[in-house]
DNA sequence: AATTCGGGGCT
DNA sequence: AGCCCAGAATT
């Protein structure tokens, strides 16, 4: 055992976080937890994890569920390709791999939604194999510890940290070591105001000794968020309303929405009604009512979503699948958060 | 190598 | 407003 690992595990014994998947060795549950936690805080993902293992205790249960049901269960968690890939992979494992998870990095990474991090996590936690995980915590800890100044959000920087992570890994206890390192990043070596006063690595940490903790890890700036203008048309017909799935390679793919016309900038209802997309719907005369504007700030998008409600007399000619549902039936479908906001806000039909 | 994919919490 | 979160896939 390296002295790094010895120090880390000593810290871990006294400070470990208690989470439902800690110590889990069922590769299905390890996989589930890792996918749910991708770019997601533990506090946000935990309830989803518990809900998923409750309703889908095995990979076979998950594979058997419908895509809509899985998406509904994922609703609100974001990055919905995770749910789509997870469901597809559950079927591959059930049908092609006889229910057995691969136990090699290549085998795991050949599955949709499993990259290097998740593959290594499964190898370490489920099979106790000597693979180091490199997530946001590890990038931060090790770039500080070693004084790595290459931006960690570039391939070169990530490679550098991964090589160091491989060297420091405790090959006897990869599962405990990896978990300990991430807990340490979450509790001590935090993004802002790290608790260096209580850090057991203080004496050997490059960043601490060179007063660089505030500037490490280095990151390349991301571009500012662009604004998109979504105009949703809530088409009512009696006690039912028309919804349709999003299918394009775009945000919220496979979630449901109201018929949408996106504009390059803020537009008036008259402008939108003059557009070819609107005309092609062939709705005839509809009395639209402005029903609210909801804004949502995402990591790289700013969304301005306007909602118009109106009673339709004829079925619109819209490409793709559509469903006419009442209020209760709508609950089976997964919607983007901003549409949920709209539906929560008022009685709209 | 750069961009995209959500949503929420924190400063 | 900007950053970050147990990243992966696409271009």
Delimiting residues of CATH 3.90.79.10 domain(s) in chain A:
226-345
| CATH architecture of the region A3-209 | Orthogonal Bundle (1.10)
Q: Which nucleotides of C are covered by protein (CB under 7 A)?
A: 1-11
Residue with tokens 């060795």: A25
Count Cβ atoms below 10 Å from residue A301 Cβ, excluding itself. 12
pLDDT tens digit sequence for A182-239:
999 999 999 999 999 999 999 999 999 999 999 999 999 888 899 999 999 999 999 9
Contact A208, A202 (CB under 8 A): yes
**What is the pLDDT, as a whole number, of residue A119?**
98
A187 touches strand C (CB under 7 A): no
Q: How far is the CA of A135 from the C1' of C11 (A)?
A: 24
Look at residue A213 in the predicted model and tell me its pLDDT: 97
Residue ranges of chain A that CATH labels 1.10.340.30: 3-209
pLDDT confidence of residue A206: 98
Question: Cα separation of A191 and A188, whole Å?
Answer: 9
Per-residue confidence (pLDDT) for residue A113, from 0 to 100: 98
Active-site residue, selected from the candidate residues A24, A34, A262, A317: A34
pLDDT computed for residue A1 by the predictor? 75
Q: What is the pLDDT of residue A349?
A: 65
CATH number, span A226-345:
3.90.79.10
CB atoms within 10 A of CB A314: 11
A24 given a catalytic annotation? no
Asked if the bond preceding A217 is cis, omega within 30° of 0, the reply is yes
**A272: number of Cβ within 10 Å:** 19
Residue nearest to nucleotide C10 (CA to C1'): A249
Q: What is the pLDDT of residue A214?
A: 97
Distance A136 CA to B4 C1' (A): 18
Distance separating the N- and C-terminal Cα atoms of chain A? 65
CB within 7 A of nucleic chain B: A 39-41, 43-44, 76-81, 154-156, 192, 220, 222-223, 250-253, 296-301, 336-338
Q: How far is the CA of A202 from the C1' of C11 (A)?
A: 42
Which stretches does DSSP call E strand in chain A? 226-237, 240-245, 256-257, 260-263, 289-297, 301-311, 323-326
pLDDT at A203: 97
Positions in chain A whose pLDDT score sits under 50: none
């Amino acid at each position: 055992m390296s002295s790094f690992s010895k120090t880390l595990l000593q810290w871990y014994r006294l400070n470990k976080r208690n989470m439902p998947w800690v110590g889990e060795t069922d590769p299905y549950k390890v996989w589930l937890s890792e996918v749910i936690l991708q770019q997601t805080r533990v506090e946000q993902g935990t309830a989803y994890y518990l809900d998923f293992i409750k309703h889908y205790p095995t990979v076979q249960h998950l594979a058997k569920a419908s895509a809509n049901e899985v998406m509904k269960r994922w609703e609100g968690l974001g990055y919905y390709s995770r749910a789509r890939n997870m469901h597809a992979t559950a079927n591959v494992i059930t049908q092609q791999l006889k229910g057995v998870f691969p136990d090699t990095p290549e085998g795991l990474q050949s599955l949709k939604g499993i990259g290097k991090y998740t593959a290594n996590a499964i190898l370490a936690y489920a099979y106790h194999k000597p693979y180091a995980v490199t997530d946001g915590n590890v990038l931060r800890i090790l770039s500080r510890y070693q004084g790595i100044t290459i931006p960690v959000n570039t391939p070169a920087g990530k490679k550098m940290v991964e090589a160091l992570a491989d060297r420091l890994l405790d090959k006897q206890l990869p599962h405990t070591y990896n978990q300990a390192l991430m807990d340490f990043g979450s509790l001590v070596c935090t993004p802002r105001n790290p608790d260096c006063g209580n850090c057991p690595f203080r004496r050997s940490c490059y960043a601490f000794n060179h007063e660089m903790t505030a500037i490490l890890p280095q990151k390349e700036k991301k571009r500012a968020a662009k604004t998109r203008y979504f105009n949703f048309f809530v088409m009512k017909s009696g006690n039912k309303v028309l919804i349709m799935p999003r299918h394009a390679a775009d945000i919220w793919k496979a979630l449901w929405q109201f018929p949408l016309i996106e504009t390059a900038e803020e537009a008036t209802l008259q402008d939108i009604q003059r557009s070819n997309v609107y005309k092609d719907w062939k709705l005839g005369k509809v009395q639209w009512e402005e029903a609210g504007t909801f804004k949502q700030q995402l990591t790289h998008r700013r969304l301005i979503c306007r909602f118009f409600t109106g009673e339709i007399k004829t079925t619109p000619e819209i490409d793709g699948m559509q469903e006419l549902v009442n209020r209760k039936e709508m609950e089976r479908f997964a919607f983007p958060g901003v549409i949920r906001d709209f539906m929560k806000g008022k009685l709209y039909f």
